[in-house]
Amino acid sequence: MEDKIKMRLTAAEMSTLWSQYLSDTLAVCVSSYFIEKVEDEEVRPIIEFTLDVAKGNITIMQELFKKENFPVPIGFTDQDVNPKAPKLFSDTFVLMFFRNMSILAMAASSAALGLVTRADIVDFHKRILNCAVKLQDLTRDLMLEQGTYIRPPYISIPDKVDFVKRDHFLAGFFGHKRAITSVEVTHLFLNIQTNMIGKALITGYAQIAQDQEVKGFLVRGMQIAQQHAELFSEILIKEDLPAPMSWDSAVTDSIIPVFSDKLIMFNVSSMIAAGIGNYGMAIAASPRRDIALKYASLIPEISLYAEAGAKIMIKHGWMEEPPQADDRDEIIQG
């Protein structure tokens, strides 16, 4: 039987390791800054946990890359963060930031575990998943304790089990619309919340960005996030359900650069990619046509925004190339 550790890395294993390395180097930079500025001593252990996990992941991946003669990605370094810069975000927002980070990490590691096969790579992604779950527990418990956790809306418990009897269940443009389902409520709430968190983060980034093109890109992102959150909030409000609050007050007035424009653009691009994925899942989970079409109509806008971000990163030489398949035509032509 072939030694599982000596098996070649598959494309999926290369891509998940490469992506994880960039994410963890970013996490080290961000956590190193937050730990310098945190004032709430209950939040500090959570930042320390995140920092320790990210550093541990990087060490494991560097050893894997070395064994495979795989070029170690550059990712982000001390050059991409200024820990001595003034405080940019409130501790409450930092807690929410790490909670959102844990959600993204759980999703990424779960997807990776469905694709990777080599035993050591499987174990590594299990480590990431377990740590992401623990980070989620730590942030949720503290936010509940401090009264800052925003719960999704409550709806009445059904009186009985029932089945859909008419295609009116799918309607949404003309005549009477049915009440939205619990699944639709959940996705609307999630997408309002992620847009509001994204807007606050991008607002802080826009204040400290140094390149004017990057600053303009971020301002556009703030506007898109606000517009999308308002569209989703309108649907909940029409159903007499509450919408999540804004996080605008979580950003200080500091304009001293904290993170490099390269790190900022990568972080925002990652959030855009996650947002497109969230909208796709929401379309699949929203049978009412008007809601599904609302999501579908917004995806082209954020896709074009993502493309604009990629062009800025390429222009400045900030976008690392992921592992690629061999170009046979180029090899043959020499």
**CATH code, 172-315:** 1.20.1260.10
Give the helix ranges, DSSP H, for 68-158: 91-113, 119-146
**In whole angstroms, what is the distance from residue 313 CA to residue 176 CA?**
47
Could you check whether 11-146 and 172-315 share the same CATH topology?
Answer: yes
Residue-wise pLDDT for 41-55, tens only, equals 999 999 999 999 999
As a whole number, the mean pLDDT across the chain is 91
Q: Averaged over 57-80, what is the pLDDT?
A: 96
pLDDT of residue 102: 96
Residue 122 in this model has a pLDDT that exceeds 90: yes
**Cβ atoms 275, 300 nearer than 8 A:** no
Residue-wise pLDDT for 163-208, tens only, equals 877 666 666 555 567 788 999 999 999 999 999 999 999 999 999 9
The percent of residues above 90 in pLDDT, for the chain, comes to 78
144-171 CB burial, b ≥16 within 10 A, e <16:
eeeeeeeeebeeeeeeeeeeeeeeeeeb
Q: Which CATH number fits domain 11-146: 3.40.50.720, 1.10.10.1800, 1.20.1260.10, 3.40.710.10?
A: 1.20.1260.10
pLDDT of residue 1: 41
**Cβ atoms 264, 218 nearer than 8 A:** yes
**In whole angstroms, what is the distance from residue 200 CA to residue 224 CA?**
12
Give the residue among 189, 223, 193 at the shortest CA–CA distance from 206.
Answer: 223
**In whole angstroms, what is the distance from residue 291 CA to residue 218 CA?**
27
Domain ranges of the chain: 11-146, 172-315
Look at 225 and 325; give whichever has higher pLDDT.
Answer: 225
